[in-house]
Amino acid sequence: MHKIKILPENLANKIAAGEVVNRPESVIKELLENSVDAGARSIDVYVKGAGKTLMQVSDDGDGMSEEDALLSIQRHATSKISSIEDLEAIKTLGFRGEALSSIASVSVFELKTERKADEIGTLIRIDESGKIFSEKGSFPKGTSVAVKNLFFNTPARRNFLKSNSTELKHIIETFKRIALSYPEINFKFYNDDELLFDYPADTLEERLKSVFAENILDLVFEVKELTDYISLYGYIGKPAYLRKNRGEQYFYLNKRYVLSKVVNHAVFTSFENIMEKGDYPFFVLFMKIDPKKVDVNVHPSKLEVKFDDEKEIYTFVQAVVKKGIGSYDLVPSISFRDDDADSSAERLRFIDFRKSDKNDMSDRPIFNINGSQKNKSAFFSDDDIDRLFGTMNKEIKLTAPGTKVEPPFDEKEPKEVYHIGEIEQHQDQESPFIVLLHNKYIITQIKSGLMIIDAHVAHERILYEKALKSFNANMPFSQQLLFAQTLKVDPADMELIKELNPYLIKLGFEIKFHGKNSITVAGVPSDVIVGTEIETLLEILREYRKNQQKKGLEVTDNLAKSFSCKAAVKAGHKLTETEMRILVDQLFATSMPYVCPHGRPIVVKIPLEEFDKRFGRT
């Protein structure tokens, strides 16, 4: 007797259904995709009992003849492909021909369809015993599929379904995903006879408002890059709109919602260092590419894809997103407000980011080193400054580096700084004033009001990008010490120095090793303050080790951050006016002058309107 047998068709269908239909959401997805492929302009979804009792999708698409309707419920019956060549260039959402047969095998199934040119349509019904009934009748043009009592004949699978609220949540998420991809289609969603969502046919921007929130366009920025080979367009959340989960990341490949680690990671790294661990960028992105360059036939759910050249896709997405991020001025503007009308307590309020044209410097301080000042005075208490920076929006971080940076302090004979209350009067009124507050904060005039810069983190940003540039350029420049300094280090530090020495050399350190626990420092980077060479090196090592343990950063990024943190001017260090001006100019020559490598804000702006309000001018 043979041990191997051909399975009965009804059993084979149930097994196949396990790959395609695993919960009510799967049914809704397959039916919605069929409606879209049928050219529908209006699609209605009806759900009862979170899909366990009833799911129905009705559309005004092409409809089917009686023969096609009967064939559609058979396994591997499809109108989407007919050859190997078609499979290698799929342009429709569905193509396998398994969805309807799989759904029908685990439910009480009913299909009504009528073509626009026909006077009479077709009803296909499959009862609980699996018997197929076909009837003629008059029905609305298009197709309507009703699925009742899902998994009634596979109770084990039905028992695995979650609560109604959980299953309904999955259904709604899938409904929204498809609705986002086809804003030109009118979508309606009914739950237990109540209309929950009504998305009229409109533009993508209006569909975003309908699906997410009326003010969503204020929280995102547009990215768009169209080429003959590949195109990417859509919207990405601004840094203040970072999310704590991956749920709001929507990527569509040729209008099909898919999951792509390549694309997700490319977007994620574009926001490098803006985000803390656990933060994720919101995005809705659409990619158009030749179907022959991608394989969507990877998984039964059709959610996974493979690209011919993943590296090329990664680089393209990252470049487009970085370009979009770079087009916005990420300096937060702040004003004070009363949270409670009856409360005297004031809190900071952040004004939204604004679009910046390329090389737009209209709202940044531009200095003439020999320029003059107009006599001004102001007063900020320690409490005001602490309060100002202590309540900063902690979700404003920094993006990735990549532009030319020069040392900020090259001036040979700097002039004396003018502190608040003792600014001298000068002739040239076009050069904005600049003052140092408590040897911490640089305050200067800009077009829209007042800009405040944290000197330490501004210098950090400059040194960070300079360090990364040194790693890439491989052209180290070392400031030789007049007297080389020798010190003993513990074995752990010795091993770390040896490990990092190739990178330390590129930064400008010149280190010689003696025995097991002794080194000589003969040269240091030009940015290291004279007299602090050994202390700075040891602090860099400590900071590197701390970052390695807590953040697991890549070597060059970690070392660049550690160097910039420990070599930058410290709070309390007195800067001359010329040093401040050069520092600010070099800051705005960096790729991201708004936040330091560790995510702290560098710059804030107080609009002129806030001063007008405070002085009763409004």
What angle (nearest 5°) sits at the alpha carbon of residue 276, between those of residues 570 and 253?
135
Q: Are 219 and 237 in contact (CB under 8 A)?
A: yes
How far is 542 from 535, CA to CA, in rounded Å? 11
Burial 212-248 (b: 16+ CB within 10 A, else e): beeebeebbbebeeeeeebebbbbbbbbebbbeeeee
The per-residue pLDDT for range 292-340, each reduced to its tens digit, is: 888 765 655 567 788 888 899 999 999 999 888 777 666 666 655 544 4
Closest CA to 594 of 351, 392, 449, 396: 396
The structure tokens 């990420």 sit at 330
Better pLDDT: 514 or 337: 514
Better pLDDT: 10 or 542: 542
Q: Are 441 and 388 in contact (CB under 8 A)?
A: no
> Which of 325-334, 391-400, 553-562, 600-609 is least confident?
391-400
pLDDT at residue 463 is higher than 50: yes
Give the mean model confidence (pLDDT) for residues 87-94: 52
How far is 425 from 428, CA to CA, in rounded Å? 9
How far is 267 from 274, CA to CA, in rounded Å? 12
Better pLDDT: 183 or 129: 183
Q: Are 581 and 372 in contact (CB under 8 A)?
A: no
Tokens linked to 390: 């202590």
pLDDT at residue 398 is higher than 60: no
Which CATH code of 3.30.465.10, 3.30.230.10, 3.40.50.10440, 3.30.1700.10 fits the domain covering 212-326?
Answer: 3.30.230.10
Q: How many CB atoms lie within 10 A of CB 25?
A: 21
Better pLDDT: 205 or 616: 205
Pairing of strands 121-126, 108-114: antiparallel
Pairing of strands 333-338, 346-351: antiparallel
Can you give the residue ranges of every domain in the chain? Answer: 9-202, 212-326, 329-455+601-614, 478-524+530-567
Closest CA to 152 of 127, 132, 134, 123: 127
For position 514, what pLDDT does the model report? 87
The per-residue pLDDT for range 148-177, each reduced to its tens digit, is: 999 988 888 888 899 999 999 999 999 999
The per-residue pLDDT for range 205-262, each reduced to its tens digit, is: 999 999 998 989 888 889 999 998 899 999 998 766 766 666 689 999 999 899 888 9
How far is 213 from 248, CA to CA, in rounded Å? 13
Q: What percent of the chain has pLDDT over 90?
A: 38
Separation of first and last alpha carbons in the chain: 97
Q: How many CB atoms lie within 10 A of CB 74?
A: 16
598 band by pLDDT with thresholds 50, 70 and 90 = confident
Q: What is the 3-state secondary structure (H, E, C) of 428-493?
A: CCCCCCEEEECCCEEEEEECCEEEEEEHHHHHHHHHHHHHHHHHHHCCCCCEEEEEEEEEECCHHH
Tokens linked to 566: 């420990």
Q: Are 60 and 40 in contact (CB under 8 A)?
A: yes
For position 349, what pLDDT does the model report? 46
Pairing of strands 283-289, 230-237: antiparallel
Whether pTM > 0.75 for this model: the answer is: no
Residues in the chain: 618
Instruction: Answer yes or no: CATH 3.30.1370.100 is held by domain 478-524+530-567.
Output: yes
For position 276, what pLDDT does the model report? 60
Q: Are 195 and 48 in contact (CB under 8 A)?
A: no
> Which of 29-33, 69-73, 77-81, 371-375 is least confident?
371-375
> Which of 5-14, 423-432, 453-462, 578-587 is least confident?
423-432
Average pLDDT score, the chain: 79
Q: Are 397 and 239 in contact (CB under 8 A)?
A: yes
CATH topology match: 9-202 vs 212-326: no
Task: Order the strands of the 510-514 sheet from edge to edge.
Answer: 479-488, 518-524, 510-514
Class of domain 9-202: alpha beta
Helix (H, G, I), strand (E, B) or coil at 223: strand
Enclosing H/E stretch for 103 = helix 99-105
Closest CA to 455 of 573, 279, 537, 357: 573
